[in-house]
């Protein structure tokens, strides 16, 4: 799930759906999803961010528009890879439940 700071983002996160939160003007330290199945992008490194304002004082919404498709794609790939690692470590991906294996 890729979302801004919203109720749907929190619902996905609490249901352990891999979640990427995009925090423009809002403070991600207050409400970002936490855990191994999450990532977040914020504006703490900007002089104006996070401003918590409904309207952009700079008139360019740099805190939101600077998030690139490549950045979100890379974060998504990280989460998917971690999910694959968890599945393969469970043992169920190689052998079906109830199936015997010759040693």
Quick: pLDDT tens for 5-15: 999 999 999 99
Over residues 20-43, mean pLDDT:
92
Q: What is the CA radius of gyration of the chain?
A: 18
Q: What is the pTM of this model?
A: 0.76
Number of helices (H) and strands (E) in the chain: give both, helices first: 4, 3
User: How is residue 87 written in tokens?
Assistant: 């599945």
Q: Nearest Cα to 64, choosing from 9, 18, 14, 5?
A: 5
CA distance 82 to 41: 18
Higher pLDDT, 84 or 80: 80
The answer to whether residues 57 and 48 touch, using CB atoms and an 8 Å cutoff, is yes
């Amino acid at each position: 799930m890729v979302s801004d700071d919203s109720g749907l983002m929190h619902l996905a996160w609490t249901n352990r759906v891999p979640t990427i939160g995009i925090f423009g003007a809002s403070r991600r330290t207050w409400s970002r999803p936490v855990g191994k199945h999450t990532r977040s992008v914020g504006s703490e490194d900007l002089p104006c961010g996070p401003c918590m304002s409904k309207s952009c004082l700079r008139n360019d919404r740099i805190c939101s528009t600077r998030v690139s498709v490549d950045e979100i794609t890379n974060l998504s790939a990280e989460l998917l890879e971690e999910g694959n690692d968890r599945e393969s470590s469970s043992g169920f991906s190689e052998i079906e439940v109830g199936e015997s294996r010759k040693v």
